[in-house]
Structure 1
């Protein structure tokens, strides 16, 4: 049994500053790093058919894609490590330093992928270098989302934590839209031979402007007011990770349970669906990418809507809605996509985006509220890092493997349904979720 959490110092200070401009600057600065994170996420997923042939040449196209998706999962392996390193730094010394360092690592490694030699020039060294880059990105991402979402929630007025927190996933999704849009423009504007030769490098190199802007903004932000209250009251945990697992095990396990459905659903719709509609459904590259851009753009708007709804009706109500739809919608969604053509591909993705956006709107504030400020970045980051590594990183690989093993093109739906059912049970049973819903 976990011990009761000690009173949090933040309850004795205002929840957020009153300056609208200050709050806006904080939101933009925190969101830039998330956008860069998922910009790379989206371009890597969108370019999977190209990268698979350039770095993992094989006579079997499916084997090459599986190798690339396995490398995609490798990027998630280091997330828990990054969460431990950056979470401890954030809880001991403040949110600003890890936010700056994480965006620097992400940006540099994204650009480095853009200049890496391919297999025909470097042999086995090429996929090894790509693997190292993905590991470094996983390290930085592990410290990014939990710290930035905590930072946003700690700047929010108490009655708007859901909306402020939803900007963490909103900015991530916006990065996905930008990445997919860049790949779409290049696919339309370049002959396939040029795209396969050097054009695929352009989206990675374009990560540099995001890096520069993000570093500048994060250098100028002020520290989180809740962390300042903890520091002023000398309430910082000497060992945040030890304190987390000694005093907040139940909240940590609750977070992991919520992550299961969210991670599988979000990774499937953001990283697997494009490959699915191109290789399984047979939609050409340009219309396939167009459907992804349109569906993800709708998802961006829905994230903020569900963040606001979580402030009005509570985190638990929105999470129950999201989990129920994750159970019910994957099968009909893939059936619709399987009809073939632009319209069904778009409609099928829009169906899946509803539960993903609902999760994305509610979980940043929920996960932050599960832990007191003195261990918040560690609790949020480590729990989310493990959940992402285990379930999000492997979801595209598992989905592809299920199709190969069963011969059933809608078999990935059952994996999402099972994950949603687990999360629904956790949300309904968890007293921590009920308490976090009370503002």
Structure 2
């Protein structure tokens, strides 16, 4: 490959990576602000339900949005494998941004009664439907546009978008909570983070309009017709890849959410740390991955995806319980240390996982395969993790109960990784790399 060709390929990869990142940033900005404001939103939309009961209702709305993601993943995955990555990613980011902005305009229970939680749920379902097609397209576009030996590095851009969105959400909510009184935050302040999604949507859509579609997808449609029924093809020929992706997505999204978004609920509602201090802790722990993610992605190009993922899971098994014990010692400083430590393995897995997803499927059905497996894993992972963790504390009275759930999820991930073979040296354009046997290969 000539220097000129390599330079052009790197430029295409950088543009695709940034395009992937801006959309996932909006997706996880929305997901995070809802999680960070759950304690504030509970009495506004579930009036009459006090304490953890009202909080569980608010977190249940999050779960309803995640239930829509597999349907959105199937719809947008089908479109992405037939029409291309770019056009579908334009649609998903637009739908997500509109749903998030409208959430900031909703009337509360005090204004329209039971209609308030119903409208909130409808918007969360709409946002979840659109978000269901985002990750599959972002991961496909970034990895398919990357040089083969730097696929892990450029593929990590999807995770960088996630961390950027979560950091922006925490910083926005943290600033608001510092500048407003609790009454002001409940009255109008909670709307501001949702309304900020409007200018973010415009910027993301304009940038994605300028990005080329995936070179591998364009090459594929020149050589053969796009699949007429990508969903049926995935389920018929790539079941093992889907099952592995579901397992890895459940494991990484559960452990990662417990180490990040859920921590705000845990620190403020369970351990009763001040909300403002807890929010700025979240800013720190979601900024940490920005330094580790690309490093982890580059390491996976050298040492392999399986090894990095396995080490991150082992770290969760070892660290989850001690870190949660440290958080409940009554010192916010110790809680910061514990949270930062627990987010190191989270950052490691995020630098690898989306490239690994892409390597499980061939180009012709990659968008559909990732969207299907990721969103099913998301429903039983991030979709219910805060609900399950809060319920465990409420039922058992044990404040470190979420740590045991994180250990369980990490062990599930280790079992799935043990069934996989290394794919970092495979050519993304060849289906042979996509479907190793379910048993006997490591």
Residues of 2 paired with 1:59 and 1:260: CA distance? 30
Following superposition, the deviation at residue 368 of structure 1 comes to 0.2
The yes-or-no answer on 1:144 pairing with 2:134 is yes
User: 2:322 matched to which residue of 1?
Assistant: 332
Unaligned runs of 5+ in 2: 428-442
Residues of 1 paired with 2:45 and 2:291: CA distance? 36
Following superposition, the deviation at residue 18 of structure 1 comes to 2.2
User: 1:184 matched to which residue of 2?
Assistant: 174
User: 1:96 matched to which residue of 2?
Assistant: 86
Residues of 2 paired with 1:332 and 1:350: CA distance? 13
Asked whether the 8 Å contact 2:321–2:403 carries over to 1, the reply is: yes
The yes-or-no answer on 1:406 pairing with 2:396 is yes
User: 2:381 matched to which residue of 1?
Assistant: 391
Following superposition, the deviation at residue 299 of structure 1 comes to 2.0
Asked whether the 8 Å contact 1:69–1:396 carries over to 2, the reply is: yes
Q: Deviations over 1:252-293 (max 9, x none)?
A: 111112122102112222321101011222110111111110
Moved more, 249-258 or 116-125: 249-258
Following superposition, the deviation at residue 341 of structure 1 comes to 2.0
SS of residue in 2 equivalent to 1:18: helix
User: 2:357 matched to which residue of 1?
Assistant: 367
Residues of 2 paired with 1:137 and 1:79: CA distance? 9
Residues of 2 paired with 1:198 and 1:91: CA distance? 42
User: 1:9 matched to which residue of 2?
Assistant: none
Following superposition, the deviation at residue 189 of structure 1 comes to 0.8
Q: Deviations over 1:385-415 (max 9, x none)?
A: 1000122111111101111111111111111
Give the counterpart of 2:307 among 317, 321, 325. Answer: 317
The yes-or-no answer on 1:53 pairing with 2:49 is no
Asked whether the 8 Å contact 2:20–2:142 carries over to 1, the reply is: yes
User: 2:202 matched to which residue of 1?
Assistant: 212
Residues of 2 paired with 1:285 and 1:435: CA distance? 43
User: 1:130 matched to which residue of 2?
Assistant: 120
User: 2:435 matched to which residue of 1?
Assistant: none
Give the length in aligned residue pairs: 424
Residues of 2 paired with 1:38 and 1:59: CA distance? 27
User: 2:102 matched to which residue of 1?
Assistant: 112
Residues of 2 paired with 1:300 and 1:268: CA distance? 18
Residues of 2 paired with 1:329 and 1:237: CA distance? 45
Give the counterpart of 2:346 among 356, 365, 373. Answer: 356
SS of residue in 1 equivalent to 2:132: helix
Following superposition, the deviation at residue 365 of structure 1 comes to 0.7
Following superposition, the deviation at residue 87 of structure 1 comes to 0.4
Unaligned runs of 5+ in 1: 1-14
Asked whether the 8 Å contact 1:257–1:426 carries over to 2, the reply is: yes
Following superposition, the deviation at residue 234 of structure 1 comes to 1.2
TM-score between both structures, scaled by the size of structure 2: 0.93
Asked whether the 8 Å contact 1:17–1:225 carries over to 2, the reply is: no
The yes-or-no answer on 1:271 pairing with 2:261 is yes
User: 1:66 matched to which residue of 2?
Assistant: 56
SS of residue in 1 equivalent to 2:282: helix
